[in-house]
């Protein structure tokens, strides 16, 4: 009642205000009615009702009242709705199980590949860190070669310490008192060590075990290592006959104080220098083949594999030859090379390059000796082919 009274009062106020002031009402609170919109809404509602009715009919046909329902019935397997629901559920379970299996397969594959990569890396680390027996043998042979080089230098220096004073006819040497004494000393040496059958038949000496070895090149160049001190002596005696068998007599006493003696001394120094260089070249050859260093077990086995007699002490040249032959023709080294991992093969290549550099250095040293000998020959030839143009008179020197 109170609400009705309020509405009535409000309406009365509106009417009185309109009458007094002549204002037109705004009508904002009045309802708006659109007939066209109402018709469209009713049509949509009718279509929706028809669709719902059709869906209900389809469900009823597919259900117990339809042909599928009449075929399946409501027996032990349940209704069609239950069967469809269970089928869809089972398919979903299969899909989830398939996804899970694929995830497990992917995890197993990733794990297997990770283990395989780890094993490959471990094998690579092992191959890079494992030392091959071939490389140990190469290191031992390299040490032998290096020591043999130092010993060869000592042998060559020792030989020069004897050959140079002999060539200069120093005191205590055979030619100090004259070349005839030098010839006699040379013959005595030959008769004691290298007497031939012909000389023995003539009653000059007794046939030696090495007849004429002091004049045969095989005494200088043999199998790589001389047969002890006896082989070194034979090589040195061959070099003596090859270069300087007879040494001129020394200039002594008054011969050195005269003007002619001083000129002869200059010529003699030239002669001594050239002979010393010639001896140095061949003394180097002797030193490389002198037995001077113990050979390793691998080197001795290599000699046996090559058909040579095993020796415990070898030369610098012999050690170098065995190391080169081992990498070229040794069956055991070739078999181990085939079984080497890549890292070991790379180390072996590095060692071979080091050996090549070492041999190149020794060839360079020989080149220096050859160049020196060639320069000496050129100087001697030039001096021989350059006679004085005219005879010059001896100048007179005034007392003042």
Q: Are 315 and 291 in contact (CB under 8 A)?
A: yes
Going by pLDDT thresholds of 50, 70 and 90, the confidence category of residue 332 is: confident
Q: Is the pLDDT of residue 309 over 80?
A: yes
Number of domains, the chain? 1
Residues in a beta bridge with 313 = 294
Beta strands in 269-312 (DSSP E): 293-294
At 21 the pLDDT is 46
User: Distances from the Cα of 382 to the Cαs of 25, 267, 271, 274, 387, in angstroms?
Assistant: 146, 15, 15, 14, 10
Phi, psi angles (nearest 5°) of residue 370: -65, -40
Would residue 77 count as lying in a domain?
A: no
- Residues 131-179: tens digit of each pLDDT: 777 778 888 888 888 899 899 999 999 999 999 999 999 998 988 888 8
338 vs 288, higher pLDDT: 288
Would residue 9 count as lying in a domain?
A: no
Kindly state the average pLDDT of the residues 185-205: 94
Would residue 41 count as lying in a domain?
A: no
3-state secondary structure of 78: strand
- Residues 52-64: tens digit of each pLDDT: 677 566 556 555 4
Q: Determine how many CB atoms are found less than 10 A away from the CB of residue 149.
A: 18
Q: Is the pLDDT of residue 35 over 60?
A: yes
Going by pLDDT thresholds of 50, 70 and 90, the confidence category of residue 37 is: low
3-state secondary structure of 294: strand
Q: Is the pLDDT of residue 78 over 80?
A: no
Would residue 375 count as lying in a domain?
A: yes
Q: Is the pLDDT of residue 3 over 50?
A: no
At 386 the pLDDT is 80
Q: Are 224 and 321 in contact (CB under 8 A)?
A: yes
- Residues 262-308: tens digit of each pLDDT: 888 899 999 999 999 999 999 999 999 999 999 988 889 889 888 88
Q: Determine how many CB atoms are found less than 10 A away from the CB of residue 128.
A: 13
d(CA 130, CA 342): 11
pTM here? 0.66
Going by pLDDT thresholds of 50, 70 and 90, the confidence category of residue 239 is: very high
Kindly state the average pLDDT of the residues 4-22: 47
Parent domain of 270 = 133-381
Kindly state the average pLDDT of the residues 249-273: 86
d(CA 276, CA 157): 12
Kindly state the average pLDDT of the residues 98-119: 91
3-state secondary structure of 340: coil
Would residue 398 count as lying in a domain?
A: no
At 400 the pLDDT is 46
Q: Is the pLDDT of residue 1 over 80?
A: no
d(CA 46, CA 37): 14
DSSP 75: B
Residue 380 is encoded by which pair of tokens?
């001697």
Say which residues have a Cβ less than 8 Å from residue 199's Cβ, sequence separation at least 6: 191, 205
Beta strands in the chain (DSSP E): 293-294, 313-314
Where do we find the tokens 């080089």?
Answer: 149
At 241 the pLDDT is 94
At 16 the pLDDT is 44
Would residue 104 count as lying in a domain?
A: no
User: Distances from the Cα of 241 to the Cαs of 214, 230, 396, in angstroms?
Assistant: 7, 17, 46
Indicate the average pLDDT of the chain: 82
Instruction: With CA atoms as reference, report the closest residue to 229 among 200, 193, 259.
Output: 193
Q: Is the pLDDT of residue 27 over 60?
A: no
Would residue 196 count as lying in a domain?
A: yes
Would residue 288 count as lying in a domain?
A: yes
Phi, psi angles (nearest 5°) of residue 294: -70, 135
């Amino acid at each position: 009642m109170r609400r009705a009274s309020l509405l009535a009062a409000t309406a009365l106020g509106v009417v009185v205000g309109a009458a007094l002031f002549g204002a037109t009402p705004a009508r904002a609170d009045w309802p708006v009615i659109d007939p066209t919109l109402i018709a469209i809404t009713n049509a949509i509602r009718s279509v929706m009702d028809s669709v719902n009715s059709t869906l209900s009919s389809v469900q009823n046909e597919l259900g117990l009242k339809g042909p599928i329902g009449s075929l399946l019935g409501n027996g032990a397997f349940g209704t069609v709705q239950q069967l469809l629901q269970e089928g869809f559920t089972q398919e979903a379970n299969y899909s989830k199980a398939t996804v899970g299996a694929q995830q497990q397969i992917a995890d197993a594959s990733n794990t297997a590949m990770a283990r395989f990569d780890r094993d490959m890396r471990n094998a690579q680390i092992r191959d890079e860190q494992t030392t091959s027996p071939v490389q140990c043998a190469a290191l031992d042979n390299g040490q032998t070669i290096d020591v043999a080089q130092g010993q060869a230098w000592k042998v060559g220096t020792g030989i020069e310490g004897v050959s140079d004073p002999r060539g200069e006819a120093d005191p205590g040497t055979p030619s100090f008192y004259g070349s005839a004494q030098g010839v006699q000393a040379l013959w005595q040496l030959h008769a004691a060590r290298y007497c031939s059958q012909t000389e023995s038949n003539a009653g000059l000496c007794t046939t030696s075990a090495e007849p004429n070895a002091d004049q045969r090149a095989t005494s200088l160049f043999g199998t790589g290592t001389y047969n002890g001190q006896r082989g070194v002596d034979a090589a040195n005696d061959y070099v003596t006959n090859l270069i300087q068998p007879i040494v001129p007599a020394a200039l002594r006493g008054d011969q050195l104080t005269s003007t002619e003696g001083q000129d002869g001394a200059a010529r003699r120094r030239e002669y001594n220098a050239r002979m010393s260089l010639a001896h140095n070249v061949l003394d180097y050859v002797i030193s490389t083949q002198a037995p001077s260093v113990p050979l390793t077990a691998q080197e001795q086995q290599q000699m046996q594999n090559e058909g040579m007699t095993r020796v415990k002490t070898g030369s610098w040249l012999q050690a170098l030859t065995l190391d080169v032959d081992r990498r070229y023709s040794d069956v055991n080294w070739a078999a181990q090379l085939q079984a080497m991992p890549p890292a070991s093969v790379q180390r072996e290549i590095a060692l071979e390059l080091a050996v090549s550099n070492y041999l190149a250095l020794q060839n360079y040293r020989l080149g220096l000796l050859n160049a020196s000998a060639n320069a000496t020959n050129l100087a001697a030839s030039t001096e021989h082919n350059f006679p004085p143009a005219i005879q010059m008179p001896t100048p007179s020197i005034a007392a003042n």
